[in-house]
Structures are given as C-alpha cells and as structure tokens.
Amino acid sequence: MAKAQHVSETPATALLRAHGIVFTEHPYEYVEHGGAEHSAAVLGFDPFSVVKTLVMQDQDAKPLIVLMHGNRKVSTKNLARQIGAKSVEPCKPEVASRHSGYLVGGTSPFGTRRAMPVYVEQTILDLPRIALNGGRRGYLVGIDPQVCVQLLGARPVQCAIDL
C-alpha cells in the first residue's frame, strides 16, 4: 500500500503522531540564514504566523525555548523579568544543537533531546494556526498553537519587539 508523500519522520513528527496531533507538512527550499521570513515568503504564509523556535539560556546557562513570531524578535530583558531570571541570551549554535538535538535552522520545540522549559509569545496563542519547524531544515509543520501548551506546557510571555 503506497503512503502519501511526506518528509521522513523526525523526533518532532514522531511525538506529534504519538499524541494523535493532526498537522500539515510544508517542505521548502532551505536557505542558510533565510529564517522564518524566507520560509514564509516561499510558502506564501504570513511571517507573523510562522513561529521561530529559539534556544536560549539564563544566567546559569540553563537552556530554555522561546517560540516567537517569524517577524518579531525577543526582548531578552522583558523575557528575563517575566520568567524570574537575571538575564537571558541566545545560545551559541553548537550549544543550542547540543541541547535540542536539532541543527540550528531545523530546531523544533517538539521531540528535543533534553527537556527544557518552553515560553510562547502570548499573541501566538491567539492565532488559528501556526507553522513551525518540524525538526529538519526546510520543513515546517502546521498546527493549532494550543498544541504547544498541551504537549510542551508552554507558558505565555510578552516579550516580542519589532525587527
């Protein structure tokens, strides 16, 4: 029996399937440093609904994940204040990969190597659907943003600033 054409399984899609989460698959041509703006443009999505998965760390080098709109950036000061940290900064790419198990540019919040607290920009949860990384460069999955709260325990924060 032939299966529908889809990108090979990743830890992220395996986790979503194991929980019975319905998602759509959106492969695209990955471009180094293209980011969410590039994937949104080639897939015809609003960059506000394409969500970046950012691996950051607090002052004690404890990793955390921030889910942010593709056309916004994180105010690390606001984030630190809201999560009770002294400071927050992005992890270096090799450190982020070590924590998540994914290559930077292909990081999904689902199926990470290491469990990390997840924070989601509050306004993402107001969207009907979002597209975020499915665990491989050039591959987004479309889901209901509430899945991030249900499966990851993502805590809403308000730390978005314009690019």
Higher-pLDDT residue of 63, 32? 63
What is the per-residue pLDDT across 62-111, written as a single tens digit (0 to 9) for each? 999 999 999 999 999 999 999 999 999 999 999 999 999 999 999 999 99
Q: Which CATH number fits domain 31-162: 3.90.960.10, 1.10.10.60, 3.40.630.30, 3.40.50.300?
A: 3.90.960.10
Of 2, 4, 8, whose CA–CA distance to 135 is shortest? 8
On whether the CB atoms of residues 107 and 64 are closer than 8 A, the answer is: no
Angle 79-75-97 (CA atoms, 0-180°, nearest 5)?
Answer: 80
Backbone angles phi, psi at 97, to 5 degrees: -65, -40
What is the per-residue pLDDT across 123-139, written as a single tens digit (0 to 9) for each? 999 999 999 999 999 99
How confident is the model over 111-120, as a mean pLDDT? 97
Q: Determine the pLDDT at residue 1.
A: 38
Q: How far apart are CA 82 and CA 152, in angstroms?
A: 18
Reply yes or no on whether the pLDDT at 9 is more than 90: yes
Q: Determine the pLDDT at residue 56.
A: 98
Domain map (residue ranges) of the chain: 31-162
Q: Determine the pLDDT at residue 64.
A: 98
Find the radius of gyration of the CA atoms of the chain. 15
Q: Determine the pLDDT at residue 7.
A: 65
- pTM, two decimal places: 0.94
Length of the chain: 163
Question: Which has the minimum average pLDDT: 1-10, 124-133, 138-147?
Answer: 1-10
What is the per-residue pLDDT across 44-65, written as a single tens digit (0 to 9) for each? 999 999 999 999 999 999 999 9
Reply yes or no on whether the pLDDT at 150 is more than 50: yes
Q: Determine the pLDDT at residue 6.
A: 55
